[in-house]
Structure 1
Amino acid sequence: MPRPTAINLVTFFYPIGNTPCVCLTQDLPPEDDARILLLGCGDIRNILFTAYADAAPLTRSMDITSCDHEDAIIARNVLALTLMLDDVSDQQHSSIWQIYYHFYLDDKSLKLLQVQAKKLSHLAGTIESWKAGAYGKLMAFCDEDTRRMVKQHWDEYAVSDLSKNEQVKHDNRLKASFEAAQKMKRDRVGSSFPLTGLRSTAPVSLHATTDTGKIYAHYWKHGSTDRNPTLLPKNRRLNPTFAPMETETFTLHYGTDPQLGFPLATAYIPFTKESPLLMEGGTKSDFHRITDAARTHFQAWAKSFRKSAEKFTLRFFVGDAIGFCHTLQHINSSGNVNSNWYRTKYTIQTINLYPEDYNSSGSAHSVFNVIDTSNLLDHLGSLNVLVAAAPLLERGVASILYTESLVARETNRKDYMDKLLCGSFPTMALLLGLVPIEYWTGATAVSNAAESMLDISTSVAGVPEGVNQGQMYCRIVWKPVLACGDPSDIMERKLHFDAKDLANLIHHTYRAMFEHEDHMKTLASLSMRTIRVNSCPYYNRGSLAAFLRFIKPRVVTDWDSMMELVLDRIAGDGSIMMGLSYYNDLCAHVSLMQVHDIPGLSVGCQPSDAAKFKNGLGAWKSLPTVVCMTLVVPRAKIEFIRKLTPNQLGSPNVLCTIQAASASQFSIGGWQEIFADVHLTFGELTTEAEATDDEHKVLIKEDPLGWKGKCPLLVTFNVPSWVVLRDPSKTVVTFGVQSTPQSVGTFMKSLGLTLTIDTTKLQDNNTVHITKFPPHCAGFASISTFSPMFKDEETKNGFKITISANIEQSTRSICGFTGRLDLHSENLTATLKAGFKVVLTQLSPTTIAVTLENHLLPLKLTFPVPVQSSKSRTRIARKPSYIEVIVPFADHVSNQGFTNFMFPLLLRNHVPMISNMPYLNLGCLPIIDTTSKTSTKSLEWLTSLISHQFSARELLQRDTESIEAGPRTNFKDSIFSIFMHYTGIQGAKCSVFGLNDAEHGGVQIIILVSRMLLDMASHTVVLDCAVLPLTHEMMGELVPFLGSLGNGGMVMIKVKQEEMKIWREVLPAMVERCRVWKHIPSCAYKTSGKIPLSAQNGVALICSCGAGKYPDNFSIAGVAKSNWAMARKFATRAALSPIFAVNYVERPFQLRDLLEKDEMKILVCRKCGKDHGGGGKALSKCARCLVVWYCSPECQRADWKEHKKTCKASEA
């Protein structure tokens, strides 16, 4: 597998999710059925919450494939889901909660667990019996081994008829596992508690800080969430679903907390009596209210799942996510289910999905419109995950891929994003064929306030560098294409690259992937953090080869020349000190994945060389360029590892070397080749055919006890044949630990400087076995070609379009594009040669129209991401008849972008589709009480939440008189005012708001608010409201209604013209996100082909399909029913929410920005919003006014035209 292999003796079990739940369909249009892939699926919280919160619960079918490497996770999930299905009277929810979340069970719950596990085990006896059983239509296994492994866990759970001695042995094993978990918690957490609960309690995190710590301590002390531990039965039994089986070595993770997966703000916010999710008996004041809230969610979600179960198909796979994805890729490209991928790096089981389900007529999906990768990026490496998963994403405008990252806190999120993808974030995203939509819009409806609070908590606490500073959470929404502009223009094109430029990018990526091997760089910034990061590398040379295989069909370049440049630069790169030793590892992967033909691999595979190894490989009839080597490591060699404590051992990576036997690699005649893509299995090895035979095979009887057994460790890796034939009689093979700061400290004393565990002679046929392919495989693991449907570049309509990437050489990043139009029709070429003017018009953020002066039809250039025509350059070659448009990326932060481009809408099949604003089922959201006498005090948290809309740059604009606020800042400020007035927290309490552009006709849009709801998935609030854009046609009928709003009946929100444009762009999206009606065939969006319909005052901007359609209980406080009746037929329901800056694009507002207003002026560069200069240097102050700051002279010069309007000489 193209990622490192670690010694897996210390692994953590994550039975319960540690991040807030998400609705898996929140970005999927309600008309679309859901085909969902969950990688690293974890617990069932997201499936249950999606069943509850889906915007189309009655019409959408959901086919969800869940993949997790732990069979215990899948066994627990199926167990809990089937218990929920069976609980039709809703009487067992308390016992189901215990079974799924408690360390200890009472007799009733234990009995229910055992009976259900026995039932499931019986049904899962064969795949035929499972399909014919009670759950076979709803739940499916993807392959036979998943069914078998999950059944083993159910057998373990069902044990109830043991003898007394067997029961004692069984209980002692469970007890030992829980004691190990408790010890790990004491070692890692001590008496403190994780702050991760603050994410789950957003947006009221500050109110819950103490409670989340108490509830965590209570859970680990009592093994239960029950309120009164003195009432717990004394004869409680340990819950077997939390413990490893006898063959497993995992330890329950010390951060396990049942409450973390639920939206716990419901424990603190006052709701109306008719609100969903209202807790029985009301909200308590003690810390157990958190559990009360979580249980209320759990019960409601289970009911929703049970009610909508017929809409679901749930499929389950146990195994490595990367191997599973590549197997699905292989099916898509070949139709064959056998991909020669192992299930994990620690078993010789190959992935063999059920052919009847995954062939062309099967019901199982191998491409998806929603993929959620959980936080696998933190465990498997972002490039590894995205290269595996992205090709499985349907290449439609509605498809979404989610990634999460929950890693050690960084000082700067923007810098972290570049590290995440091993290169410039937008550059690597383009190469991966993914669009991080919020990066380009700079806007999100999902609150990141909790992260800002965690940032400030760490800062205020003064945690020193090197000490665990908590974690940083980042969820990114990726799309295959950017949906904006004309739908007919949206299709992917291959990016053209100069071979040298692309080689520079790849080499830059290589250096970032293997930064941990750059010891000089490590020493230059030596810290506890760098030691920690460099001790857990994510990539091996197979990772780089897989990335190259991925991008090869996506680009147009002289590929062979580019690869020669890349290989030359890698071979000559002295900064990666061991780079040359890994060179043949890279060449083997490049060859196997058909990335590039390397002539050097066959140089040593001639008959004369084969004679050197007559008793093995040299005697084969035909010599492949790459072979597989299996090394037998005696058990005695690795027993010392089991004696290390978990904290000492960690998870060190292992590798193999082939090297000269009698000399150091640094001495004359010494050489060493390192291979880091190794596979580990415990078992007994036998062979078929002699080692001198081409058909020589290795057979392994796997030892299920693994590290606890007695069998030797079998290590398998691929190697170029020429390395084996180089000098076999004087060559040894070694197995050892990869050198990192942590592993050196742990192993050098016992293993020596080279960290070698075992060494054997290459020609020892008892310990070294060479075969054509890996054991139990008919070939090498398949890495398929990623082949999306690209726009045809052939000449059509008289011209040909190519899009080339422009490279900023100093940063090795893409900075823009060159769009080229090669004109071929006589009309076009004659017009160009005649000297007619070429005019550029930006039609959308991604599309530029190129018009020849006397040619009516424009020629459109559509780019993958937003560009800025106003900063473009044009090259016109009239004789050869081509036009080139060189455009930079758009960037709204530095005023080089599109202010209105926040939540783009696309007419897909004439129906609006939102790109990046979550769809909402308003009927399931809790209704916040804003009417009671105590509501203002109980809603104090709202001010902080709405204030978090602003980035630090925007807050600087808002609070500094000398700086003119931009339209986006004013837009957010208007939203702030609406929320403050509606709740009465600031200003007069009111439910009706007029967007008033006094300079251009006065009030243009009226917003009438019915109620405020808690948006649990986005950790924010929404106003359930009616939007009434005033048009000339309706004014006559609305005169009485408008008259009733006088004398304080409507709050005027002052809006300038540029801000009004944003309102007109965003309001249609806010209507669409909560739509429960269908657009009619004569919809104005369809007939006009535009959304919004118009930007003009007095002209409709929203279609009339949803006008007058409201639930029965929809009313406006302060507006008489008769008056509302006049307006409602013209108004459309919408969900108005705060709009937040994207915290990995701009530094977000933090609480300290309010506490230290005098320091606000030094927070960010006025031009680009950066909070530091180049190379991490401090910002520089404007020498004239001493008020604003810049990150560079370039930014100061670029901003002077605007800044000089307000720059006044300081009196200081």
Structure 2
Amino acid sequence: MLTPEIAKSVQFFCPIGNTPAVSLTQDLPSKKKADLLLLGCGDVQHILFTVHTEQHGRDPRPLDVTCCDADTAVIARNIVLISLILDDLNGANNQLIWNIFYHFRIDEGSLALLQTQTAKLLALSTSLRTWQQSQYGQMIRICDRVSLEQIRGMWGFYGEKRQGDVLRRFNKELDNGRRISLEFRKFFAGDRMNVVPEIRASAPVCLEATHDLGDLYRTFWAFGTTETDETVRSYAIHSNPMFGPNNGNMFLHYGTNPVLGFHIASCYVPIDQITPQSGSSFKRPELHEIVNAAKAEFGTWAKSFRAHFGADLITLRFFVGDEMAFSYALQQMHTTGPVKPSHWYRDRFHFHPLVLDDEHYADTSAPLLFDIVDTSYLIDHFGALNLLTATAPLLRHESSATLYSEKLVRTKDTQMSLLETFLCGDMATVTSLLGLVPVELATNTSSSSTGTETLFQEVIRPPYTTDQVIMRIAWKRPLNPGNAVMKTLGPIHFHSDGLAYVLHHVFLKLFPNEDALRLFVTRGSPQMPSLPTYNRASFVAFLCLVKTRTSTDWNTTMATLLDLIDHDTRLPFAHTYRQELQLWMHMQGLYSVNTFRSTPNPLNHHPQTGTLKDWQNIPPMVSVTLRIPRSTLGPFIAKTMEIGFAPPLHGVLHSSAQAADQWQHMFAATQIGFGSVKSKGSRYSDSFKIEIDEDQFGWTGKSSMFLSFYVPSWILLEEPCTATVSLAMAPSPTAVTMFEGSFGVNLNIFTAEQHDGEHVYMTKVQPHQSGVISICGFDPDEVSNQLDPEGNSETTVTATVDETTGQISSFTNRVQIISEESKALLRDGCAIKRSVRSPFNYVLSLQDGPSFIANFPAPILDSTVRVKIARKSSYLEVIADVAKPGHWAALRSFMYPVVVDDGSPVLWNMPRLDLPLLPVIDLANASYGDLRWLRTHLPTMLSEKEIALNLNTSFSGSPSARDRVEFKNALLHIFASFSGIAGRKARAYGIYCAEAKGMQMVIFLSKLLFDASNRTVVLDAAVIPISTEIMPEVIPALNTMSGSGYAVKWLRTSEDVVRLWKEAVPAWTERCRSWSHKADCEYATTERIPLSVKLGERVLCSCGEGAIPTDFMPQLPVWNDLAKHAVRMAISPPFASVLVGKPIDSSTLPDFET
């Protein structure tokens, strides 16, 4: 309902992932139980890999994972796989399980195992209760009865024993489906392959790997198997029903390639002999070796999963249905409890209400807030603002909680064009309202390289295509460190007019396809447009969230907003959707215009006539359901198949041709279903109800289609008999060009008069519902003015809006002092020290008194901070301009923030690593050619602009930006020289401050590791920050290293760059620690990380000193003297964010020889 209705005449089935598995918990602190929500979950590769990394860590954590996917087959396959893994106690069936899940042609043994397993699952799942009591039911939960019914339908399809004509028909359908899939691939990609997935899967070792992956792709589609041996392939004589979606208009996605979900880049890296992949005789792998490596990795995941399950550390929950509807149902349950229904339908094309009736939702033991929310590629389907509005309230209010989204973006898009369209508004303004921060943008630092992908696309992609990168964004709560028992989002206070201007600008950007200028320019354009992802209900959903996030005179804001929309001429279709916007605002309790404040009276219009004539009490809005005969729908479906484009659909109410005053109202927030209708109650009364007996074949079936939507009652009373109701295509230049000749100027697919009893049904609510859908936003208990943990102060944040742009220009944070002691200090004129803790946090410290933190919902520019001190009124105000996206790239000293949260350090944008799990790159035996990929990968730390700063000292750049470049240059030098690809190799590197003429820290390097999950390399290192107190012990030991193979290689830099090093070191040490922080940890007692960046002062806490493996540097004679002062750390390249600037291209790659 919150996205435009698009005909699904063709759908693609994505049974397996096409990107390498990632650890879903890598951004969370260790040990703590994690609740995960996976929307558009796809296959379980990420879950298996996450469990594997947890199981092999120091303290495996309990995981509770809720999975939602709109495709029943995806969920049904996942449960089959998990059950097979759990039953295979010793791993004897790994090959058969691999065949069942990854091959669309399988041998006799694999088919027999599949049939046996599905028969077992069907016997155990006759009801939710029997499933819960089964051997799987406590660990594999199914969220509702309808999901179970649909999953069982797929299990029955998988396990059916087909013979004779049934088998021949089944094989023919699957073969035809694959042929059509390949035709689609040729249509979209031409004769050349789309190499983006292959490049991502093989990064950073792309060039050779991409060719091999292309060969494996062709093998898979030619033979239905990953096997390269002809004899083994010959046994695969059966079509695999696990690749045969039980739906006639769904085809296997043309990009499917089983090995893409595994870390096959490891096959191209010279791995040390201590790991199984390689040895000193490294060579390019054969195709069968790549497949075997993927199988081996799958086997280790399965073994780890069984161990995690055996330790009772994993719960999986599965829901089949629309991901946004599921999110709003969880919102509703969290806000109001399990009793009140949400009144959402479970998906877009059925009239099944969404009811979470698993007992864990009734007894509230199922999680409703999450540490991790992963939304896969749903932004492309729902739009970023839609998706984040639905999911932001489900994220816990903790510094480590993370929401992930992925999107395929063109690298030719400029930073501003990308940001302006992504969230339908100014980035800082919209993210403040969402209570989220895109971490990569705020820090301009990423743990993975997109530059590697774009560089290789230059070489491999067809010349007529555009560079694209997959952008994975981590969204987190604004930094709000502290020790409060319950974390909340503070409300943002607005003047009513200011908030109205913000919302009006968002409204305009939600509907670019309706923009008058754009319509004129694009009319007749040969390019296929992108489909719209928003309607007026989408905007109202955002308003619901904003209402719970802000403090203002709401009714005045809404009145001003509607006035701005009504008087804006840029969206010519706005007036035709005006009634829908007002209806949804009334429905959700946001605001009611006059037509919704009183009950319509039919006597005032046309007494005793029309479809509402016997209603006793006509509510302000009613549901209209239109039945569209299949015979009428058929030509539309045929046309969409012919041209390969399906426009959005909507409902239309239109005056009759005879009416003196012509009018038309459009309604895009609709629900669709297929089947036959049953009615209850008197036809023209308010007791009338309808139910739809569903046709499971939907678009490909033979039943009528039903379109249901809400309308204002007063419109139905204008012409209660002769006005018309239509299913139509939403007007757009493309729709007019392609469909006007067949369907007329109004693009109507079917039209019936309002009183047509066979096709038009008026009811109080939509079919199978007892109320209207619920959109909750944030829980009111979780949005409140913030009290500090000791109760000394209360803070409020007020936004100032630039009304010409609709952007927040500045914030005012008022700290109202409550403590009488602090009030007295303020009145007595105490000095106040000011300091910046981060771009989100400004600290005011009273002399001889406490410190107060002013937290902001978006980064501020510290150069614009003004402080107001009201000594008599006992408050402090911090006023600061908002840092716009153009400034975020240059926020000083904010690459790797680490905060103290609840007394413990929390990483904000640095993934945790378990170093013993990472394979070691064999630098001793690797040839120059074996490591040439590093010469391409490492420079992608730098963006296009940073390269320009490097090459041209006169190029425009802030001091902060230049400091970052110098910091990255030093790291590039360390990685390149230690790996041997450039310069003199060293094992120890020192950071020397030129201004202070003193050494600041020494870094010792043990190994270069391969981090396949993040597609990069990591230095296994130890650091000794040189403080005044340890100089007498450390300096003599360092001096003895001079002239040896371990001589320190000193890197001279400025004091500002030293600051960057000292702020990065705590993150590098925290990410890989295997030790625990002590009760008296200096981080906790001072609430500062690093402890200091001043010359000669301590940087790190003392908790990890000396916790170094005994074999770290066995050949260094003085290592024992140094190790007691050293802390282990994991250094990875700080890559520039594609959100901030363009990646480098091949023309700007540095020359390592010079």
Fold-level similarity (TM above 0.5): yes
Moved more, 475-484 or 26-35: 475-484
Q: 1:820 to 1:984 in 2, by over 3 A?
A: same
2:39 aligns with 39
Give the alignment partner of residue 1102 of structure 2, picking from 1095, 1104, 1114: 1104
Corresponding letter in the other structure for 1:736: A
SS at match of 1:299: helix
Corresponding letter in the other structure for 2:1147: R
Count of aligned residue pairs for this structure pair: 1139
Corresponding letter in the other structure for 1:191: D
Alignment check: 8 A CA contact 1:373 1:404 kept: yes
Moved more, 110-119 or 958-967: 958-967
- Measure, in 2, the Cα distance between the counterparts of 1:1115 and 1:829: 55
Alignment check: 8 A CA contact 2:119 2:159 kept: yes
Give the alignment partner of residue 982 of structure 1, picking from 955, 978, 981: 978
Q: Does 1:341 align with 2:344?
A: yes
1:1003 aligns with 999
Q: 1:844 to 1:1155 in 2, by over 3 A?
A: closer
Give 1:980 deviation, angstroms.
1.4
Moved more, 691-700 or 341-350: 691-700
Q: Does 1:725 align with 2:723?
A: no
Q: 1:273 to 1:714 in 2, by over 3 A?
A: same
Q: 1:1057 to 1:526 in 2, by over 3 A?
A: farther
1:1044 aligns with 1040
Alignment check: 8 A CA contact 1:626 1:721 kept: yes
1:11 aligns with 11
Corresponding letter in the other structure for 1:585: E
Give the alignment partner of residue 564 of structure 2, picking from 554, 565, 569: 569
1:327 aligns with 329
Give the alignment partner of residue 818 of structure 1, picking from 812, 820, 835: 812
**Root mean square deviation of aligned Cα:** 3.0
2:766 aligns with 774
Give the alignment partner of residue 1060 of structure 1, picking from 1058, 1061, 1068: 1058
Q: Over residues 881-903 of structure 1, what are the superposed CA-to-partner deviations in whole Å (9 max), with x where a residue is unaligned?
A: 87654311347965996422211
Q: 1:281 to 1:1059 in 2, by over 3 A?
A: closer
Alignment check: 8 A CA contact 1:484 1:905 kept: no
1:925 aligns with 918
1:493 aligns with 490
Q: Does 1:637 align with 2:632?
A: yes
Moved more, 333-342 or 548-557: 333-342
Q: Does 1:658 align with 2:653?
A: yes
1:304 aligns with 304
Corresponding letter in the other structure for 2:671: H
Give the alignment partner of residue 537 of structure 1, picking from 532, 540, 547: 532
Q: Does 1:582 align with 2:574?
A: no
Corresponding letter in the other structure for 1:514: F
- Measure, in 1, the Cα distance between the counterparts of 2:577 and 2:947: 50
SS at match of 2:466: coil
How does 1:178-197 map onto structure 2 within 5 Å?
178-196=178-196, 197=198
Give 1:453 deviation, angstroms.
2.1
Q: Over residues 504-560 of structure 1, what are the superposed CA-to-partner deviations in whole Å (9 max), with x where a residue is unaligned?
A: 221111111111011422433679687412xx1001110011110111021122211
Give the alignment partner of residue 900 of structure 2, picking from 901, 907, 915: 907
Q: 1:508 to 1:663 in 2, by over 3 A?
A: farther
Q: 1:107 to 1:506 in 2, by over 3 A?
A: same
How does 1:50-449 map onto structure 2 within 5 Å?
50-54=50-54, 56=57, 58-160=59-161, 162-196=162-196, 197-229=198-230, 231-233=232-234, 236-245=237-246, 247-275=247-275, 284-287=284-287, 289-309=289-309, 310-336=312-338, 338-359=341-362, 361-407=363-409, 410-449=412-451
Give the alignment partner of residue 776 of structure 2, picking from 770, 780, 784: 784
- Measure, in 2, the Cα distance between the counterparts of 1:223 and 1:895: 48
Q: Over residues 734-791 of structure 1, what are the superposed CA-to-partner deviations in whole Å (9 max), with x where a residue is unaligned?
A: 1112223433343222211211011111012221111111111111111124225234
2:749 aligns with 757
Corresponding letter in the other structure for 2:802: E
Give 1:618 deviation, angstroms.
3.5
Alignment check: 8 A CA contact 1:143 1:317 kept: yes
SS at match of 1:543: helix
Alignment check: 8 A CA contact 1:531 1:741 kept: no
Alignment check: 8 A CA contact 1:141 1:147 kept: yes
1:1195 aligns with none
Q: 1:121 to 1:409 in 2, by over 3 A?
A: farther
Q: Over residues 965-995 of structure 1, what are the superposed CA-to-partner deviations in whole Å (9 max), with x where a residue is unaligned?
A: 7222121111111111211211122211122
- Measure, in 2, the Cα distance between the counterparts of 1:1116 and 1:553: 56
Corresponding letter in the other structure for 1:212: L
Alignment check: 8 A CA contact 1:373 1:402 kept: yes
- Measure, in 2, the Cα distance between the counterparts of 1:847 and 1:390: 22
2:472 aligns with 475
Corresponding letter in the other structure for 1:904: P
1:959 aligns with 951
Identity in percent: 33
Alignment check: 8 A CA contact 1:616 1:692 kept: yes
- Measure, in 1, the Cα distance between the counterparts of 2:670 and 2:118: 37
Give 1:648 deviation, angstroms.
1.5
Alignment check: 8 A CA contact 2:4 2:669 kept: yes
Alignment check: 8 A CA contact 2:206 2:456 kept: no
Give 1:81 deviation, angstroms.
1.8
Give 1:807 deviation, angstroms.
2.5
Q: Over residues 248-273 of structure 1, what are the superposed CA-to-partner deviations in whole Å (9 max), with x where a residue is unaligned?
A: 52111111121222222112111001
Alignment check: 8 A CA contact 2:441 2:889 kept: no
Alignment check: 8 A CA contact 1:936 1:983 kept: no
Q: Does 1:554 align with 2:549?
A: yes
- Measure, in 2, the Cα distance between the counterparts of 1:711 and 1:1052: 77
What are structure 2's unaligned runs of at least 5 residues? none
Q: Does 1:691 align with 2:683?
A: yes
Alignment check: 8 A CA contact 1:612 1:727 kept: no
Corresponding letter in the other structure for 1:352: V
Q: 1:1041 to 1:276 in 2, by over 3 A?
A: farther
Q: Whose relative contact order is higher, 1 or 2, with alpha carbons under 8 Å and at least 6 apart?
A: 2
Give 1:373 deviation, angstroms.
0.4
Give 1:455 deviation, angstroms.
6.2
SS at match of 1:342: coil
Q: Over residues 405-457 of structure 1, what are the superposed CA-to-partner deviations in whole Å (9 max), with x where a residue is unaligned?
A: 12566522442122111111221111111111222222222222234326645
What are structure 1's unaligned runs of at least 5 residues? 1158-1212
Q: Over residues 83-109 of structure 1, what are the superposed CA-to-partner deviations in whole Å (9 max), with x where a residue is unaligned?
A: 222222223222222221212112222
1:1193 aligns with none
Moved more, 894-903 or 724-733: 894-903
1:1183 aligns with none
Q: 1:526 to 1:20 in 2, by over 3 A?
A: farther
Give 1:649 deviation, angstroms.
4.2
Q: 1:475 to 1:696 in 2, by over 3 A?
A: same
- Measure, in 1, the Cα distance between the counterparts of 2:1039 and 2:795: 57
Alignment check: 8 A CA contact 1:728 1:763 kept: yes
Q: Over residues 983-1036 of structure 1, what are the superposed CA-to-partner deviations in whole Å (9 max), with x where a residue is unaligned?
A: 121112221112222543533312111111111121111011112223444444
Q: Structure 1 length as normaliser, TM-score? A: 0.89
Q: 1:311 to 1:506 in 2, by over 3 A?
A: same
- Measure, in 1, the Cα distance between the counterparts of 2:701 and 2:177: 18
Q: 1:1000 to 1:181 in 2, by over 3 A?
A: same
SS at match of 1:580: coil
Q: 1:613 to 1:382 in 2, by over 3 A?
A: farther
